[in-house]
């Protein structure tokens, strides 16, 4: 920790009426003499990898524009720093799931266009308008609500029409979308920015559902030609579609997990040269010898089969490292693998090192590379019987993030 941060800690303590008594040694008042007290479990984010992946995607989809999807804390990478990086990289838009995410970006100075994908309540509409956030309009009634509020506040609402082509979440079915499209075109209070839908199965290059959804989306777009109206910006392709379905690129694509160097599904064919942007590390805080027959962690489910060494890491499922990885995951140290043993706790987990006593303060890699070995998000997802998205987005704000 730098000296200003340390002095900030001191100021916080004083503001909470905590007294520093004269019985403490004088040296304790000199914070600059002490090492960084930050938590010894952290995430590193590589901006160079993000830049490389964005460049690869841009080359693949050109001339289509790129909306960088930063929902769910930028897939665990940190919402504001990553959004700021993409804004500086001149992406055309940012995509988030929630109004709260968009407002937080605006509060932190992010000025580029932001689209909120999710459904909305009428009470949220004024906040969209006051902060110039693009609105997903999923039905004629929602459009009418937005139109009324824009008239009331004397401003133009930026809207994107959402078609449901088979996902079944929100949006008007493409074959019944003409009344909503006509109303959007006639509205004097709404600016029609885009029209979009979302694929359900694009991660699998062989799934026939994608072609059906593409056909339905084109049917919805066809209403603009029937009405002799200009077509707004069309966007459909997510990460899987960017990899497998060039016909879906249209005017803009919406990469999410692909931006972070992760393949969306084990069935995906990753033809792009991607770089992984996230590393998860923790330092050992305790180690001890374990005798044959002694147990580790809750439920005493793991028992030492011989005399061995156990080290404790200060990270657990309370940080998002899933409990389902108990007894399955491994960590890396000095290019070697060490198994996670016993149940992963909320704040701690244990590893076994039969051949050696790992030194205190040893830096372990939970996601990322050490020497010739690597632990990937995809591998952890397979072990936990989930998807890479869940592994990444589980990593929460208890873990400090450092940007390289």
Residue positions counted in the chain: 404
pLDDT digits (tens, 9 = 90+) for 160-181: 999 999 999 999 999 999 999 9
Higher pLDDT, 200 or 7: 200
**Residue 254 binned pLDDT confidence (cut-offs 50, 70, 90):** very high
Q: Is 71 a catalytic residue?
A: yes
232: its two tokens? 């707004």
Nearest CA to 388 out of 205, 265, 258, 244 is that of 265
**In the predicted structure, residue 352 carries a pLDDT above the cut 80:** yes
Q: Which among 71, 142, 281, 343 is annotated as catalytic?
A: 71
- Per-residue pLDDT averaged across 216-237, rounded? 97
pLDDT at 266: 83
Q: Give the per-residue pLDDT at 106.
A: 98
User: Mean per-residue pLDDT for 21-40?
Assistant: 58
Mean pLDDT (whole number) for 391-398: 97
Is residue 16 predicted with pLDDT exceeding 60? no
Count CB-CB contacts under 10 A for residue 94.
26
Check whether 15 has a pLDDT greater than 50: no
At residue 268 the predicted structure's pLDDT band, cuts being 50, 70 and 90, is: confident
Alpha-carbon distance of 85 to 91, in angstroms, equals 9
Q: What is the pLDDT of residue 67?
A: 98
For the purposes of burial, counting CB atoms within 10 Å of the CB of 187, is it exposed (0-12), middle (13-18) or buried (19 or more)?
buried
Q: How confident is the model at residue 32 (pLDDT cuts 50, 70, 90)?
A: low
Question: What's the pLDDT band for 21 if we cut at 50, 70, 90?
Answer: very low
Point out the catalytic residue in the list 247, 292, 298, 402. Answer: 298
* Segment 16-37 mean pLDDT: 49
DSSP 318-379: GGT--GGGTTT-EEEETTEEEEEES---SS-EEEE-TT--PPTT-EEEEEEEETTEEE-HHH
CB 350 within 8 A of CB 340: yes
**What's the pLDDT at 356?**
81
Share above pLDDT 70 across residues of the chain, in percent, rounded to a whole number? 91
pLDDT at 26 over 90: no
Q: What pLDDT is attached to residue 98?
A: 98
| Main-chain dihedrals φ then ψ at residue 9, nearest 5 degrees | -60, -40
Give yes or no for a contact between 210 and 245, defined as CB atoms under 8 angstroms apart. Answer: yes
What per-residue confidence (pLDDT) applies to 29?
A: 57
Gap between the Cα atoms of 283 and 202, Å rounded: 39
For residue 30, what pLDDT is reported? Answer: 55
Report whether 393 contacts 72 (CB < 8 A). Answer: yes
pLDDT at 231: 97
Mean pLDDT of the chain: 92
CA nearest neighbour of 366 among 399, 389, 402, 333: 333
Q: Collapse the DSSP code of 268 into the 3-class scheme (helix H, G, I; strand E, B; otherwise coil) and give the result.
A: coil
Q: What is the mean pLDDT of residues 333-352?
A: 97
**14: pLDDT confidence band, cut at 50, 70 and 90?**
very low
Q: With bands split at pLDDT 50, 70 and 90, how would you rate the model's confidence at 28? A: low
| Structural domains of the chain, with CATH | 47-260 (3.20.20.10), 278-375 (2.40.37.10)
- Model pLDDT, residue 287: 94
Q: Tell me how far apart the alpha carbons of residues 147 and 382 are, in angstroms, rounded to a whole number.
A: 46
pLDDT at 18 over 60: no
Instruction: Give the helix ranges, DSSP H, for 193-245.
Output: 209-226, 239-244
Main-chain dihedrals φ then ψ at residue 329, nearest 5 degrees: -70, 160
Phi, psi (rounded to 5 degrees) for 19: -90, 140
Q: If you write DSSP's letter for every residue of 103-159 in order, what string do you get? A: HHHHHTT--S-EEE-S---GGGHHHHHHTT-EEEE-SHHHHHHHHHHHHHHTSPEEE
């Amino acid at each position: 920790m730098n000296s200003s941060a340390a002095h900030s800690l001191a100021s916080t303590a004083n503001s909470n009426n905590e007294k520093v008594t004269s019985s403490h040694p004088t040296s304790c008042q000199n914070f600059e003499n002490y090492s960084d007290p930050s938590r010894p479990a952290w995430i590193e984010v590589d901006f160079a990898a993000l830049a490389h992946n964005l460049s690869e995607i841009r080359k693949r989809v050109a001339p289509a524009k790129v909306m960088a999807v930063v929902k769910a804390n930028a897939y665990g990478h940190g919402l504001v720093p990553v959004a700021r990086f993409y804004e500086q990289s001149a992406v055309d838009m940012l995509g988030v799931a929630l109004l709260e995410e968009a407002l937080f970006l605006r509060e932190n100075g992010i000025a580029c266009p932001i689209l909120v994908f999710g459904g909305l309540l009428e009470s949220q509409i004024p906040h969209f308008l006051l902060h110039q956030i693009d609105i997903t309009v999923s039905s004629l009634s929602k459009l009418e609500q937005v139109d009324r509020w824009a008239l009331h506040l004397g401003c133009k609402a930026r809207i994107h029409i959402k078609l449901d082509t088979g996902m079944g979440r929100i949006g008007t079915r493409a074959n019944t979308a003409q009344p909503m499209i006509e109303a959007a075109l006639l509205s004097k209070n709404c600016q029609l920015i885009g029209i979009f839908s979302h694929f359900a199965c694009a991660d699998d290059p062989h799934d026939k559902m994608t072609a059906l959804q593409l056909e339905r989306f084109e049917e919805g777009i066809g209403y603009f030609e029937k009405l002799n109206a200009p077509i707004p910006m069309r966007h459909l392709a997510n990460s899987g579609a960017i990899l497998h379905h060039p016909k879906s690129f249209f005017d803009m694509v919406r990469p999410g997990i692909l931006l972070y160097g992760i393949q969306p599904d084990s069935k995906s064919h990753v033809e792009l040269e991607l770089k992984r942007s996230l590393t998860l590390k923790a330092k050992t805080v305790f180690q001890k010898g374990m005798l044959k027959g002694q147990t580790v962690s809750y439920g005493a489910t793991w028992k030492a089969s011989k005399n061995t060494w156990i080290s404790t890491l200060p990270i657990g499922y309370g940080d998002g490292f899933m409990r389902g990885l108990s007894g399955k995951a491994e960590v890396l140290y000095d290019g070697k693998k060490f198994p996670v043993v016993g149940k992963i706790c909320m704040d701690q987990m244990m590893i076994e090192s039969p051949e050696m006593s790992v030194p205190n303060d040893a830096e372990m890699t939970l996601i990322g590379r050490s020497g010739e070995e690597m632990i990937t998000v995809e591998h952890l997802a397979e072990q936990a019987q989930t998807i890479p998205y869940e592994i990444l987005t589980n990593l929460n704000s208890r873990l400090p993030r450092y940007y390289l």
